[in-house]
Amino acid sequence: MHNPAETALAHTDARPAHWLATAVAMAAVIAGAGLLQPTPAAGARSTAAPGGPQAVATAPDPGAAAYPLDCRGGPHQVTASAQGDLDGDHRPDTVAAVRCEAGLGTPPNAVYVLVADPAAGSTPRVVATLLPAAQRKNVTELAVRDGAVTATLLGYSTPDVPRCCPDTKQLAKWVWAAGKFSQELTDAEARSA
């Protein structure tokens, strides 16, 4: 008597020729996919010179910039940086927290926005000061998310608070709108340790 279950499962009895054909077909699909490349979207900006290879835009190096920070002849120090597209031009910008180097104490930070000049080998250019050093804040947790710069600002409630031990904390956010950066501040609980 004929068993219908054996007939239904006969195709699962694979032979070496079946596996070889499957392997050749898969190799052809993978090779074909490697040869096909997507075309650039209409209106996409190329950073390559005409006729040259396309270059990937990189964020400006915060260590290579000249900052408008008066350190009275001393060196400056980049304490934090973050990268992201801040103005919607699809090119990465850099935000840097910078302070004067000091042997003792904690000098205040300034926060700057850097852009890369199109000329090869040019120094990154400071285009905005988000936080001037005169505000006497220290910056922690600097980040760029969804086109906004965020930072935690540590400060002092009175001139009597020792400069080693900030006792105020604010969450700051800067957003590019209408051709300039606008700032939002939120008070947050903080006490020095």
Closest CA to 137 of 125, 155, 124, 150: 155
Residue 74, CA distances (Å) to 34, 95, 106, 125, 136 in order: 54, 22, 15, 20, 18
First-to-last alpha carbon distance for the chain, in angstroms, is 87
Structure confidence by residue, pLDDT tens digits, 65-95: 999 999 988 999 999 999 999 988 889 999 9
Mean pLDDT, rounded, of the chain:
77
> pLDDT value at position 37?
42
- Indicate the pLDDT class of residue 117, thresholds 50, 70 and 90: confident
SS3 of residue 32 by DSSP: helix
The amino acid at residue 50 is P
Whether the Cβ atoms of residue 143 and residue 151 lie closer than 8 Å to each other: yes
Percent with pLDDT over 70 in the chain: 67
What is the C-alpha separation between 98 and 79, in angstroms, rounded? Answer: 6
What is the C-alpha separation between 75 and 81, in angstroms, rounded? Answer: 17
Indicate whether 24 pLDDT > 90: no
Structure tokens at 171: 């969450």
Ramachandran region, residue 187 (left: φ > 0; alpha: ψ -120 to 50; beta: rest): beta
Structure confidence by residue, pLDDT tens digits, 45-72: 333 344 434 445 789 999 999 999 999 8
Region 26-48: mean pLDDT is 43
- Indicate the pLDDT class of residue 114, thresholds 50, 70 and 90: very high
| Contact partners, residue 156, CB within 8 Å, separation at least 6 | 136, 163, 166, 167, 168
Percentages helix, strand, coil for the chain (3-state, rounded to 5) are 20, 35, 50
